[in-house]
Amino acid sequence: MPRRYDPERRRRIIDAAIRVVGRDGIAGLSHRTVAAEADVPLGSTTYHFATLEELLVAALRQANEGFGRVLAEWLPRDGGDDLAAQLAGALGEWLGGERTGVELECELYLAALRRPALRPVAAEWTGQAAALLARHTDPVTARALLALMDGICLQVLLTGGSYDEEGARTALARLIP
């Protein structure tokens, strides 16, 4: 029987991995659970991703695209009047979205603490986000803003509290020269 051409299979496997981690956490991720979720043969997952680390790297890279898009949409290229308000709005949109997706991205991002293979992807995302912010301020302030935004996200997620956009705007404004 000839092999069926399936150019989207790799992407479906990554999407399935993201759903599995979102539902069961990283501990629930296996080639078998992802294959079942993606409705593909087990061999397809191991063909595209020899190790679970490779699959986690791909999942983190894809998950990072979400907040990156939100941030890019909120930050106009020509600057803007109130950078703190734009960043607080971006956080509000991100945290106001589907909570599972936000938690998943944070879980994958923090997994880099224990999984060295994920560190370059986390560093890549941090560098890209800092470069985006540096178009509106200096590089040191951009990194500080990013760190504060990460902290705000983690606090909201870990405490189960609601996001205070005005409080975030005030805190972010204190870092902007």
Angle subtended at Cα 156 by Cα 153 and Cα 161, rounded to the nearest 5 degrees: 165
Q: Is the pTM of this model over 0.85?
A: no
Q: What is the pLDDT of residues 64-95, one digit of tens each?
A: 777 778 788 888 766 667 899 999 998 998 88
The C-alpha atoms of residue 17 and residue 87 are separated, in whole angstroms, by: 29
The C-alpha atoms of residue 157 and residue 145 are separated, in whole angstroms, by: 18
| CATH number of the domain within which 155 lies | 1.10.357.10
| CATH number of the domain within which 2 lies | 1.10.10.60
Share of the chain above pLDDT 90, in %: 53
Confidence of residue 5 (pLDDT cuts 50, 70, 90): low
pLDDT, mean of residues 167-176: 96
Domain around 168: 56-175
pLDDT score for 51: 94
Same domain, 82 and 162: yes
Largest CA distance in the chain: 65
Q: What is the pLDDT of residues 119-152, one digit of tens each?
A: 998 898 899 899 999 999 999 999 999 999 999 9
Same domain, 127 and 63: yes
pLDDT score for 2: 47
Share of the chain above pLDDT 70, in %: 95
Same domain, 44 and 86: no
Q: How many CA atoms lie within 13 A of 26 on its CB side?
A: 20
What are 107's two structure tokens? 């879980």
Task: Calculate the average pLDDT of the chain.
Answer: 88
Same domain, 74 and 35: no
Measure CA 71 to chain center: 11
**Domain total for the chain?**
2
Same domain, 117 and 134: yes
Same domain, 81 and 123: yes
More confident residue, 100 or 8: 8
Confidence of residue 155 (pLDDT cuts 50, 70, 90): very high
Q: What is the pLDDT of residues 19-37, one digit of tens each?
A: 998 889 888 999 999 999 9
The C-alpha atoms of residue 12 and residue 18 are separated, in whole angstroms, by: 10
